[in-house]
């Protein structure tokens, strides 16, 4: 009888552990990886609206960028204007520690190239809580007064927040192309 009770308890414990692992898959450094469920968040957009990831109800492209001052980020965000079409049901959110007013300036700067306005939403994570939750804080900035800057990263989430694709860069100069992102986004249609 006791052996059966122990086996049942072990079975329940292992099912619970497997379920927890399936919920959030992270690598050894704590970075959210493909196959897991993306941590939920509520952040303020540059337009002053709250955005809650779990309430979007559509596929999402999350782009974590270093900041308005980074030329590689500006180039990437400029190119991302053409990633989604009006027919797409997906949404794109660009996340950094920048305050909303810096994101507004960045969107305006990008639009001045004559290739159109930025149509996606900038989200501000000034306390880098979400950047930390995704395991993206770049330790190179520790002690420099600007801690919380993320490694550049792109996540594609299905409408239930499952991470179906991710690309995290250790070299801030490297970014996935729109073609790469689009190919992965098309797989979840």
* Residue owning tokens 């990831």: 53
Looking at residue 100, its pLDDT comes to: 95
pLDDT recorded at residue 3: 53
36 Cβ contact list (under 8 Å, min separation 6): 22, 23, 24, 25, 26, 162, 163
Query: Which run of H or E residues covers position 44?
Result: strand 42-45
pLDDT at 23: 44
Domain count, the chain: 1
CATH code assigned at 147: 3.40.30.10
Q: Would residue 16 count as lying in a domain?
A: no
pLDDT in tens, 9-53: 443 444 443 333 334 555 545 788 889 999 999 999 999 999 999
> Would residue 10 count as lying in a domain?
no
pTM: 0.84
Q: Is 70 a catalytic residue?
A: no
State the Cα–Cα distance between residues 106 and 121, nearest whole angstrom: 12
Q: Is residue 174 part of a domain?
A: yes
Helices (H), the chain: 2-23, 71-79, 100-111, 129-133, 178-186
What is the pLDDT, as a whole number, of residue 26? 56
Give domain status of residue 116, yes or no. Answer: yes
Q: Active-site residue among 53, 60, 73, 181?
A: 73
CA distance 43 to 125: 7
Domain that includes residue 139, residue range: 25-186
Q: Which of 128, 111, 105 is nearest to 43 (CA)?
A: 128
In this predicted structure, which of 18-22, 115-119, 149-153, 171-175 has the lowest mean pLDDT?
18-22
Quick check: helix, strand or coil at residue 164?
Answer: strand
Q: What's the pLDDT tens digit per position in 77-134?
A: 999 999 998 888 999 999 999 999 999 999 999 999 989 999 999 999 999 999 999 9
- Top pLDDT among 143 and 172 is at 172
Question: What are 54-83's pLDDT values in tens digits?
Answer: 999 999 999 999 999 999 999 999 999 999
Domain assignment present for residue 14? The answer is no
pLDDT, residue 29, reads: 55
What band does 143 get if pLDDT is binned at 50, 70 and 90? confident
The Cα–Cα gap between 94 and 2 comes to: 55
Q: What is the pLDDT of residue 15?
A: 40
Residue 13 falls inside a structural domain: no
Let me know if residue 160 belongs to a domain: yes
Answer yes or no: is 18 within a domain. Answer: no
Taking the C-alpha atoms of residue 128 and residue 51, their distance in angstroms, rounded to an integer, is 16
């Amino acid at each position: 009888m006791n052996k059966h009770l122990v086996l049942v308890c072990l079975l329940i414990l292992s099912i619970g552990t497997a379920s927890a692992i399936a919920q959030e898959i992270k690598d050894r450094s704590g970075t959210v990886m493909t196959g897991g469920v993306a941590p939920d968040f509520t952040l303020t957009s540059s337009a002053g609206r709250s955005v809650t990831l779990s309430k979007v109800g559509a596929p999402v492209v999350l782009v974590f960028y270093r900041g308005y001052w980074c030329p590689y980020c500006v180039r990437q965000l400029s190119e991302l204007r053409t990633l989604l079409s009006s027919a797409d049901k997906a949404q794109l959110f660009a996340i950094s520690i920048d305050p909303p007013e810096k994101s507004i300036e960045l969107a305006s700067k990008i639009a001045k190239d004559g290739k159109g306005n930025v149509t996606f939403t900038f989200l501000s994570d000034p306390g880098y809580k979400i950047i930390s939750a995704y395991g993206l804080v770049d330790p190179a900035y520790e002690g420099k007064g600007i801690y919380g800057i993320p490694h550049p990263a792109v996540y594609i989430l299905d409408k239930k927040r499952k991470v179906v694709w991710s690309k995290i860069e250790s070299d801030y100069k490297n970014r996935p192309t729109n073609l790469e992102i689009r190919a992965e986004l098309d797989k979840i249609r």
